[in-house]
Amino acid sequence: MEPPRQVKFLTYNIWSREVMVVRARMEAVGCLVRTQEVTPHIHRIFQSHDWWKWYTCSPVEEESIASGQHFCLLLSKLQTESFCRRPFANSSSRRCYLEARVNLGGGMKPIHVATAHLESPVPPSPMRCVERPTQAEHAVSAWTGRRTSCSATT
């Protein structure tokens, strides 16, 4: 396989708005898609479209589907070697850092792509003043120390 001449990224915070123009956005994007706030309903919508089969998708925890909580997804049209999910220890809503190791082919080194979803700054919690900075530090630490072990999901 010839390596791509360019790699396109899309970061897409679904925002639990299930009336979005999902199909048009997904058909317009390129190789790697990073999403946050995907609900089980939106996940089913994604799976029902033709473009879904173009991508390798990060695994979804059954607990997230069963509980109806939203979650992050990474999608790749390129060969994906592995996915790694690191839950935030202080998250009451199962937020996490999610990373994929993607092979570009053609003898190029693999790249790492990641997304994270921090606690939402909404009342009644006082804007998540403690959780959000701690989770941001966790995500940066995970990214910079990504060679350390992780509960990899493939």
What would the pLDDT profile of 71-107 be if each residue is shown by its tens digit? Answer: 889 999 999 999 999 888 888 778 888 999 999 888 8
Residue 4: inside a domain: no
Provide the token pair at 52: 């879904």
- Per the structure, the complete domain to which residue 43 belongs is given by 9-153
Residue 132: inside a domain: yes
Rounded CA-CA distance 21/18 in Å is 9
Residue 115: inside a domain: yes
CA count, 13 A, side-chain hemisphere, 63: 3
Confidence of residue 148 (pLDDT cuts 50, 70, 90): very low
Q: What is the pLDDT of residue 154?
A: 43
Residue 84: inside a domain: yes
Residue 1: inside a domain: no
Mean pLDDT confidence for 122-134: 67
CATH of the domain at 128: 3.60.10.10
The count of domains in the chain is 1
What would the pLDDT profile of 7-31 be if each residue is shown by its tens digit? Answer: 666 666 655 555 556 666 656 667 8
Return the closest-CA partner of residue 35 out of 137, 114, 123: 114
Residue 3: inside a domain: no
> Could you tell me the pTM of the whole model?
0.69
Residue 86: inside a domain: yes
